[in-house]
Amino acid sequence: MDDYGKPKEECAVFGVSLNTAEAAGIVYNGLLSLQHRGQEGSGIAVLSGSGGNISCIKSTGLASEVFSGGSLDRLPPGCTAIGHNRYSTTGSNIRENVQPFITEFLTGRIAIAHNGNITNAKQLRESLKQCGINFSATSDTEVVSSLIAYRCMKTGNVLSGILEAAPTICGAYSMVILGYDGRLFAMRDPCGFRPLCMGTGPHGTAFASESCALESCGFEFTRDIRPGEVVVAEKGVVTKQTFLDPPRCRGGLCIFEFVYFARPDSIIDGMSVYEARYNMGHILAQEYPVHADAVCGVPDSGIEAAIGYADESGLPLVSGFVKNRYIGRSFIYPVQSQRESAVRLKLNPLTANIKGRKIVLVDDSIVRGTTSRMIIGLLREAGAKEVHVRISSPPFRYPCNYGTDVDSVKSLIANKADMEGIRIKIGADSLGYISIEGLEKACQKCMVPFCTECFTGSSGEITRKNVLEE
Amino acid sequence: MDDYGKPKEECAVFGVSLNTAEAAGIVYNGLLSLQHRGQEGSGIAVLSGSGGNISCIKSTGLASEVFSGGSLDRLPPGCTAIGHNRYSTTGSNIRENVQPFITEFLTGRIAIAHNGNITNAKQLRESLKQCGINFSATSDTEVVSSLIAYRCMKTGNVLSGILEAAPTICGAYSMVILGYDGRLFAMRDPCGFRPLCMGTGPHGTAFASESCALESCGFEFTRDIRPGEVVVAEKGVVTKQTFLDPPRCRGGLCIFEFVYFARPDSIIDGMSVYEARYNMGHILAQEYPVHADAVCGVPDSGIEAAIGYADESGLPLVSGFVKNRYIGRSFIYPVQSQRESAVRLKLNPLTANIKGRKIVLVDDSIVRGTTSRMIIGLLREAGAKEVHVRISSPPFRYPCNYGTDVDSVKSLIANKADMEGIRIKIGADSLGYISIEGLEKACQKCMVPFCTECFTGSSGEITRKNVLEE
Amino acid sequence: MDDYGKPKEECAVFGVSLNTAEAAGIVYNGLLSLQHRGQEGSGIAVLSGSGGNISCIKSTGLASEVFSGGSLDRLPPGCTAIGHNRYSTTGSNIRENVQPFITEFLTGRIAIAHNGNITNAKQLRESLKQCGINFSATSDTEVVSSLIAYRCMKTGNVLSGILEAAPTICGAYSMVILGYDGRLFAMRDPCGFRPLCMGTGPHGTAFASESCALESCGFEFTRDIRPGEVVVAEKGVVTKQTFLDPPRCRGGLCIFEFVYFARPDSIIDGMSVYEARYNMGHILAQEYPVHADAVCGVPDSGIEAAIGYADESGLPLVSGFVKNRYIGRSFIYPVQSQRESAVRLKLNPLTANIKGRKIVLVDDSIVRGTTSRMIIGLLREAGAKEVHVRISSPPFRYPCNYGTDVDSVKSLIANKADMEGIRIKIGADSLGYISIEGLEKACQKCMVPFCTECFTGSSGEITRKNVLEE
Amino acid sequence: MDDYGKPKEECAVFGVSLNTAEAAGIVYNGLLSLQHRGQEGSGIAVLSGSGGNISCIKSTGLASEVFSGGSLDRLPPGCTAIGHNRYSTTGSNIRENVQPFITEFLTGRIAIAHNGNITNAKQLRESLKQCGINFSATSDTEVVSSLIAYRCMKTGNVLSGILEAAPTICGAYSMVILGYDGRLFAMRDPCGFRPLCMGTGPHGTAFASESCALESCGFEFTRDIRPGEVVVAEKGVVTKQTFLDPPRCRGGLCIFEFVYFARPDSIIDGMSVYEARYNMGHILAQEYPVHADAVCGVPDSGIEAAIGYADESGLPLVSGFVKNRYIGRSFIYPVQSQRESAVRLKLNPLTANIKGRKIVLVDDSIVRGTTSRMIIGLLREAGAKEVHVRISSPPFRYPCNYGTDVDSVKSLIANKADMEGIRIKIGADSLGYISIEGLEKACQKCMVPFCTECFTGSSGEITRKNVLEE
């Protein structure tokens, strides 16, 4: 629960094709439901009229802030729209990198919202510049948008453009694209690094990063977009499904989606996030049983695994902490002499549930170890006799190339100490990380292979076609 | 879980007497920890220097907003300070009613932060005006502050003033008072309607509406302020404890503190809030057993009772919903055609835990019934075979005179239908409210009698002394 | 034109009694027209209904900011209202000192807006505290408001209260008072330190600090409130005029109103401000003639005197500078190496009018001399052959007790150097300050004697009755 | 003085090449000095480091707002920078159209700030799209920036790119361009529609829309950029001057710069704006003499012409109005019943100077006539015996294609009535517009021919080369 060093996922996307003109409002609801995936910027682009006109409002801030004060009403009515929540703060010129990104080219306009990380963005940028394309911002998304626009122009067709552009893009991308032709496209990279799913409602079709957003907006979850799949919707109806070439790398769905990123009420590639976390706890209890009195999870992301641990171990589940929901990320602790106990303002132990007990504490990860040490300290102050830490992900030691923003490799505790060293540093009586096999087993209902590079470091990517190759 | 009609508690208070000059920073932390009791205004008053000077910063907004941008640093260093979070929006001139309230009088100054509701405020105001006292704002707190100031002046002593003023005040008050004499006073009305407790830390003494704030600020909970008790602290140390006359009414601690208001990690008058809620669930399971498959609570306040119900009934506890924490109170649903399903943006059911199951749904209260109906609808859409609603408070039918802001009596569902009528209206398969006896039993470790007027309507107040009676 | 050290006047007042319910809107217009007298806070209080209810909105900022976003519409309709613009930044708790100030007492409520400085405010405060009155803010206005309220209560009548309170108040006060009895009162201290006037319109009567506000709001200027006069209006009509005892001090109308504070389109006590400034220039030309080529004024306040100088001397008047109206008071000059020339961003010389010419530069005052030195430097850079400075006020050397906020006496250039020393310091070829006699002659149409203490230092105040003397 | 319908000029540009790294701070000062040319958006782009990196901060609002709160300090140090103030509100997506605009292309980056109007922007946009160029915003500036970038890439050199791009651009453009090669370019279209000048200071060279900004920032005005000229500066020094082909249209400097847009302390193409306006008044007095008592100008833009009229006619000049400087453009008049007199809040007549007099009122233009009618009404209420209106521009009847934003042609009073009709509508005793010849004579020191299309309607543009022609 190291907030600062914790892996950070970048972005959420949402798109709808309807037979009514309320697309922007629905997308707004979708963005609210996906706010947990990115809180630094938000935007909506709507296709209006019959001439392929695209209007866009986007800015830094939460969706509810960007679209407050009537700005949502300033978007024109339209049947097709996409939206985006942004996480990353990279780039000095944040405002220009907020999505959706619009590109106008010879034959029309497209708007794009993208979740992922393009590993060959620099090369694509250079290649496109060689083709005479200019750039006004600094983001990957402008590169992808320009690339697709370039291919659209060459082929005279948005879908063809997308299908020609895709094989030249390396890395992780789950994206929704608004075409001047009135069509909405959803595309997921061949490895399927980031989730993307679709749903059907009385007025049309929606695509979302997570299924929770479909349900919140009144759509019934239909299925996931498969890795390498491109789905086209028009006037509310899915009109085409097609596939990109199979992946030429060993990547897969980022397993951290199940460990930490996704909302527990989402189902990703056939696997319920809630159930995956529950299973992680279950397996942790098998891999690292311990004689204890009670199990508790670190809110919010350790809760479900704690339930699983409790059920498997037969130990009672207790609420160990109350989380203060009014303390935002920008909080600065005002009293110097008490900075050590700052974590207590965010998490206060429920003494009644802890006192005199041997506690199993379930959390999703340890990054630098500082916060874990403080949380364990709180339990001991609250009278815990023993604290046994169980972590629902393996130690991660390697950087992620596909959109997860981790601390520098050097600061990761798993690179600075062995298991016993970590245990001592965080002050636990025992420590158990789930095995990679255990983690994969917990998520085994998932129909897509996993990327576990951050645990193993093995990279298996195969280079893509050059953008200039025709 | 009817957010709008839900009973609303007014305010939190926090005060510290230290032997270091960091009082304002500590109070700020205390206010952060008590933000759940009031989010509409916040303020801190500090006693600085030796001349009884009191500085105050207060404004509308969350504590983190009021004290952002360096405004906390503009308060002078001081060893004694009090703070307040405000709930109510009554009064056209909100800004002037934000607390702490400062009164300067012939012999000095006091600042006061107050939680409760003075039932004879109008009469006190008139009496004080008869004594020549003027008013510049419209709140009860100005009345109490002026009354105490008046008595302080007459007696030449802050404590004497408080002790003489108290018998003339009717209703609910838990308050902290900063005196020009460098002393900090904590006072709770003889019925003890609202909680108030104290703690000790390395640098002094703190008083807080709830014990969770003491712990979050590095103080060890010592004990509750007893009903009718006045505690005095000076230079960090408690120097005096005294008692007001016994209550002349049948009031007691507001039992809704245990049902809904307080944070589960607080202990009020000897009773853990967490445990009380757990017990409520336990007793509900005895009073209203049902043949079902799983138990789930409505987040956040139904969760603990659901755990108790599950444990007593032997039914498995499941997470039934995921709550969207990014949707604030000011949210307006943008899509007209889907307004019915607006609640889904806030609460999305975890289908995997619900589908095909007979569910026991535990919530803390039903006010108008609208939200309950929508939540039950969500469960049915998620495939629940049956929904059995269990409520951890009796039906409330009467207005509260002691600081809880309920809807108009007419709009309360319990005044519009009988039990079966309510069940049908909210669409449940069965409905059970905990009995008053059951609720009291759940909280029986509480050493203070309860006020249950909102359930029973019986008022037992005895009139107080007139302010002018000497 | 030393912006920072320049004498600062405190506040504007405006009040209307109408036979329609648009009082608040009219007062808002009045405050806009008087914004030049105070830009730090603004407020409006309206009497609504028949029960003497007073509603008030006030906050820090310009009137257009305080009443933006529909907050003006939140004031209830009412026929009687008062408003205030505040200058001073004294007091740590600015927000509570913004006016109008409301006092509720035994028999009703009053609201007060006050321009001036009460020299015995501390004593009054102590006296009132002796009478049992409390205070919640730190301003003079609360003292005056409480004092009047106290007397209102004693006499049972607002007018009587005002008339009994007035003789105990020392110093400068021009105020408008809203009474619970539906009447509006305008009162000016017996010396008449600050201006106050009245006007009549189709729907009623208005009182304003300056006549320009009457005209801007559609009222015809009727006459000034005389020193020591109290005027009462009710339902739009003046119903009573009465006088306080004659002044017992040598004070009079602050002559700086004509030199600098007032808007040139105002007429104060029979004297047009425009004409007074014109006359000052006229007389300066007689007292300090010089052989030169052109006359120019420092915008904005030196312009009118420059016209007068030009007309009397026969020299042509030229525009010497263009003032940048987009640079506010909070401007910070970003380039260190050019800070010396910062004044140029505010005032740029019109080289065509200056080059090769001997210039007479007319300004209203010199405080610390820094800005004057920079302005003269600009003229020389623009090619002025000579710069002859003429100042339309005598050197001021003494602090003001009546509401003008001057720099510390020590920093005043006139206390640090003789005439030749000042001339050298500011870099002028010659320097002439108008004589006190000349200044008084320029304003001789004014029917009220002047206070010139800041030039002469002679104070002639006579102590008032004690507040407790009956 | 019809604020709403008044011709509106679009934008100001400023650029510096220095031998110190304070470029951003200097540009900020320049933008402050040019704020009168555009108040809706502001931005600064700085070239930093040796790799051609360009950083940019831009947003909607005044320069002082955009660069408040330390945002100026977030720009890196650099020797070369450009800035822009924006007027126009066209385009739904304002934020993306704020300048400077940055384009990155194959061989580097450029940033551009542009004042004017490209008449063939649509065609250029289409042509560029044909070349494969994409667009992400909707402004002319993106088109010009992309066009130049395209040519830069083709030629491998920024200057060559500019020189090749220019002949294909039609319309008005005065621009500053920041090149990745460290050079700063200033270019003015061959007709010279908009002003552009340069100055020298101790640390380098500056380019500005108006000379007033040079002086305010410590640069000495050197000369104007001639129509069709391109000037290159590098490391603070001008390194090259060259010329575009001669104009192939009958355009010229927009004469409204002298009438209304420019600050009076600027000198444009050899002609002092102050002097031009003075001359207009002079000539108006010759063309439309009248027997009257006094002359006054409508603040601010009629003041200088009034001085000229007074001098030529021998009539005394008086201040006729005081302008309220606290009423912004967004002001909404709150009192319905007095809306007619709303103008009085902005402009209050100085009765003393007007009463009983026959007044010559000098203004710069009449658009719809509404405001003129109100102002004349104010003079009559103030007692003017006669009001003779003199306008320092001819009636304008035609739209402007070069960056001046006028009302729809239909709403122009000069298209709805003849001279006598206008006189009657505005309520004047006589009315005189300066002749076109008179206006040109007043500005005859200007060394560039004028564009007077808005008066005459004759358009003489010759089509440019197609962008694709090599």
**pLDDT tens profile D277-301:** 999 999 999 999 999 999 999 998 8
Establish if A462 belongs to a structural domain. no
At residue B61, the pLDDT reads 81
Structure tokens at D114: 């542009």
Q: Is the pLDDT of residue D1 over 50?
A: no
Alpha-carbon distances, residue C13 vs C85, C175, D77, D331, D341 (angstroms): 7, 7, 48, 21, 22
Substitution target in B134, B178, B467 with the highest count of C β-carbons within 10 Å is B134
Let me know whether B177 and B324 are in one domain. Answer: no
Pairing of strands B404-405, B8-9: antiparallel
Question: How far does the CA of residue D257 sit from the closest CA of chain A (Å)?
Answer: 32
- Local confidence band at A88 (pLDDT 50, 70, 90 cut-offs): low
**Active site residues per annotation of B:** 11
Rg value, chain B, Cα: 23
D82 and D22 within one domain: yes
Report pLDDT for D461: 47
Is C53:C47 a contact under the CB 8 Å cutoff? yes
- Spatial distance between the Cα atoms of C241 and C251, rounded to a whole number of angstroms: 23
Distance from C-alpha of B11 to C-alpha of A468, rounded to nearest angstrom: 66
Give Dmax over CA atoms of chain B in angstroms. 72
In SS3 terms, C266-279 reads as: CEECCEEHHHHHHH
What's the confidence (pLDDT) of residue D61?
Answer: 81
Min Cα separation D55/chain A (Å): 8
DSSP state of C226: P
Query: Cβ of A132 and D131 within 8 Å?
Result: yes
For residue D365, what are the domain limits?
Answer: 267-455
Q: Residue D131: its pLDDT value, please?
A: 86
Q: Which two tokens stand for residue B155?
A: 């007696």
Reduce the DSSP state of residue B146 to 3 states and report it: helix
Q: What is the DSSP string of D322-376?
A: EE-TT--TT-----GGGGGGTHHHHEEE-HHHHTT-EEEEEES--SSSHHHHHHH
Same domain, C130 and C28: yes
- pLDDT less than 70: residues of chain C: 1-10, 88-96, 247-249, 328-341, 403-407, 459-470
What CATH number did the domain enclosing D331 receive? 3.40.50.2020
Residue type for A72, please? L
Strands D53-60 and D12-18: unpaired
Looking at residue D343, its pLDDT comes to 82
Question: How many other CB atoms are found less than 10 A from the CB of residue A362?
Answer: 32
**Structure confidence at residue A138 (pLDDT):** 79
Mark yes or no for CB contact A322/B275 under 8 Å: no
Quote the pLDDT of residue D194. Answer: 94
Query: Helix D158-165 to helix D140-155 angle, to the nearest 10 degrees?
Result: 120
- H or E stretch at A365: none
> Concatenated DSSP letters for C50-119?
TTTEEEEEEEES-HHHHTTTTTGGGSPPBSEEEEEEE----SS-HHHH-S-EEEEETTEEEEEEEEEEET
The reported pLDDT for the residue numbered D464 is: 43
* Cα-Cα end-to-end distance for chain A: 48
Contact A378, A346 (CB under 8 A): no
Q: Does residue A255 belong to any structural domain of this protein?
A: no
Q: Can you state the angle between helices D273-287 and D303-313, rounded to 10 degrees?
A: 50
B237 and B282 co-located in one domain: no
In eight-state DSSP terms, residue C22 is: B
Cβ pair C171, C118 in contact under 8 A: yes
**Which chains form contacts with chain D, at 3 or more CB pairs under 8 Å?**
A, C
Assigned domain for C379 exists: yes
pLDDT in tens, D405-429: 665 777 788 888 999 999 999 999 9
> D463 pLDDT exceeds 50?
no
Does residue A387 fall inside a structural domain? Answer: yes
pLDDT tens sequence across A277-333: 999 999 999 999 999 999 999 998 899 999 999 999 999 999 999 998 887 654 566
Rounded average pLDDT over A113-137: 90
Q: Are residues C219 and C280 in the same domain?
A: no
Give the Cα separation of C229 and C239 in Å (integer).
14
Query: b/e string for C314-329 if b means 16 or more Cβ within 10 A?
Result: ebebbbbbbebebbee
Bridge partner residues of A261 (DSSP): none
**Inter-residue contact B170 to B120 (CB < 8 Å):** yes
Among all residues of chain A, which has the CA nearest to that of B350? A265
Chains that touch A (3 or more CB pairs under 8 A): B, D
Q: Do D106 and A146 touch (CB under 8 A)?
A: no
Residue D237 tokens read as 């020094």
Contact between C317 and D319 (Cβ < 8 Å): no
Which residues sit opposite A237 in a β-bridge?
Answer: A234
- Count of domains for chain A: 2
Query: Is B1 contained in some domain?
Result: no
D chain contacts of residue A95, beta-carbon cutoff 8 Å: 59, 95
Residues whose CB is less than 8 angstroms from the CB of residue A32 and which lie 6 or more positions away in sequence, other chains included? A63, A64, A216, B324, B326, B327, B331, B345
Alpha-helical regions (H) of D200-331: 211-216, 256, 273-287, 303-313
Report the alpha-carbon distance of residue B345 to residue B332 in Å, rounded. Answer: 11
Q: How far is CA B254 from the centre of its chain?
A: 9
Tens of pLDDT, residue by residue over D121-155, are 999 999 998 888 888 887 888 899 999 999 998 89
pLDDT 10s digits, A376-390:
999 999 999 999 999
Residues D364/D368/D369/D374 CA torsion (nearest 10 deg): -100
Q: Give Cα separations from A313 to A283, A295, C7 (angstroms).
A: 10, 9, 79
Domain final residue, candidates B202, B218, B247: B247
Integer-rounded Cα Rg, in Å, for chain C is 23
Of A130, A136, A145, the CB nearest to D103: A136
DSSP state at residue A317: B
CATH number for the domain spanning A99: value is 3.60.20.10
**Alpha-carbon span C267 to C446, nearest angstrom:** 9
pTM for this predicted structure? 0.83
Strand locations in D298-414 (E): 321-323, 347-349, 358-363, 386-391, 404-405
- Give the amino acid at A384: A
The edge-to-edge listing of strands for the beta sheet with A386-391 is A294-297, A358-363, A386-391, A430-433
Instruction: Say if the Cβ atoms of B106 and C129 lie within 8 Å.
Output: yes
Which range is most confident: A400-409, D432-441, D447-456? Answer: D432-441
User: From the centroid of its chain, how far is CA C238?
Assistant: 25
In a domain, A464, yes or no: no
Asked whether residue A201 falls in the same domain as residue A309, the answer is no
Domain boundary among B198, B219, B247: B247
- Of D26, D275, D335, nearest to C29 by CB-CB distance is D335
Structure tokens at A327: 């303390």
What's the mean pLDDT in D80-103? 75
Distance from CA of A318 to the nearest CA of B (A): 9
Does residue D321 belong to any structural domain of this protein?
yes
Structure tokens that stand for B186 in this block: 């904590």
Q: Are residues B207 and B310 in the same domain?
A: no
Q: Are residues D212 and D281 in the same domain?
A: no
Residues C83 and C147 both lie in one domain = yes
Residue type, B218: G
Residue D8 or B12, more confident? B12
Q: What is the ipTM of this complex?
A: 0.86
Contact call for B334 and A275, based on CB within 8 A: no
Which of A92, A134, A142 has its CB closest to that of D55?
A92
Same domain for D175 and D312, yes or no, is no
| Nearest CA-CA partner of B456 in B397, B412, B408 | B397
**Neighbouring C-alpha atoms within 13 Å toward the C-beta of B170:** 20
Burial class (CB in 10 A: 0-12, 13-18, 19+), A411: middle
Q: Write the DSSP string, D60-79.
A: ES-HHHHTTTTTGGGSPPBS
Residues B352 and B428 in one domain: yes
Indicate if the alpha-carbon torsion angle D221, D223, D226, D232 is positive or negative.
negative
Tens of pLDDT along A318-370?
A: 999 999 888 765 456 666 666 656 788 889 999 889 999 999 999 999 988 88
The residue from B188, B215, B247 where one domain ends is B247
Average pLDDT, chain D: 87
Q: Which residues of A touch B333 (CB under 8 A)?
A: 29
Q: Which residue from B101, B134, B150 is facing C149, i.e. has the nearest CB?
A: B134
What pLDDT is stored for residue B5 in this prediction?
Answer: 44
Tokens representing D430 are 């006589």
Task: Give a yes or no: residue A256 inside a domain.
Answer: no
pLDDT per residue rounded down to tens, chain B (470 residues) = 334 444 455 699 999 999 999 999 999 999 999 999 988 889 999 999 888 889 998 887 888 888 877 788 889 999 999 999 987 644 434 566 789 999 999 889 999 999 988 989 999 999 998 888 888 887 888 899 999 999 998 899 999 999 999 999 998 999 999 999 999 999 999 999 999 999 999 899 999 999 999 988 989 999 999 999 999 999 999 999 999 887 666 789 999 999 999 999 999 999 999 999 999 999 999 999 999 999 999 998 899 999 999 999 999 998 999 998 887 655 566 666 666 567 888 899 998 899 999 999 999 999 888 889 999 999 999 999 999 999 999 998 887 777 666 656 777 888 889 999 999 999 999 999 999 999 999 999 999 999 988 888 875 444 444 444 43
Q: Are residues B271 and B310 in the same domain?
A: yes
Helix (H) or strand (E) holding D71: none
